Amino acid sequence: MADTRKRVAVLISGRGSNLGALIDAAAASDFPAEITLVISNVPDAAGLDRARQNGISSFVIDHRQYETKAAFEDEIDARLREAAIDLICLAGFMRILSTEFVEAWRDRLLNIHPSLLPMFPGLDTHARALAAGVKEHGASVHFVRAETDQGPVVAQSKVPILADDTPDMLAARVLDAEHRLYPIALKLVAGGKARMVGERVMIDDSEASGGVTAGATAP
């Protein structure tokens, strides 16, 4: 029987903790996706070791070795297409992708962001959440659009903010939530349970559990 699982590439720049969560989830026989390729723009990214330990093809495409952003992205695109990739997951990939690349992979490109989007796009989300005095924080998995952290949300996981929280304490709890959230969101997309209708994500069958809400957006 032909393997019907979606072929997934994960783009990283660092330790690859969310990559590890995706690899672990994809090891289940009923998971609708397999991690078949890992690409890092940082040669010594620790996540590359995780990929190799699991027998996953991995490549370094160092952005500093390319004269233009377009040339860098063309090399990534060529590797993705050579591997017959269906979906891309950004997991701590610290490069902003061009409009051209994002549109070429429209609705096939996911990112995880440490806030309840549309709240706190961009950097330093934990410190900003504490400064704003909000009672909840968390993480979102969304389809990527050209505008940073503005794409339609697939799923979110909420984390309460405690009275004595510091940015580092809050970041650690949000990261734990990310590790639960990303596999759920990928399962929804790869399994065809999350689909785009206009610019909204419709969920046919929620896999929500453990504080994860499928198809949610922050108020």
In the set 63, 113, 137, 179, the catalytic residue is 113
Q: Residue 113 catalytic?
A: yes
Q: For residue 154, how many other CB atoms are within 10 A of its CB?
A: 27
Return the residue matching tokens 């969920």: 203
* SS3 label, residue 194: strand
- Strand pairing partners for 136? 160
CA–CA–CA angle 209, 139, 148 (5° rounding): 140
The answer to whether residues 154 and 190 touch, using CB atoms and an 8 Å cutoff, is no
For strands 136-143 and 153-160, give the pairing: antiparallel
Q: The tokens of 181 are what?
A: 């959230």
Q: Give the residue numbers marked as catalytic.
A: 113
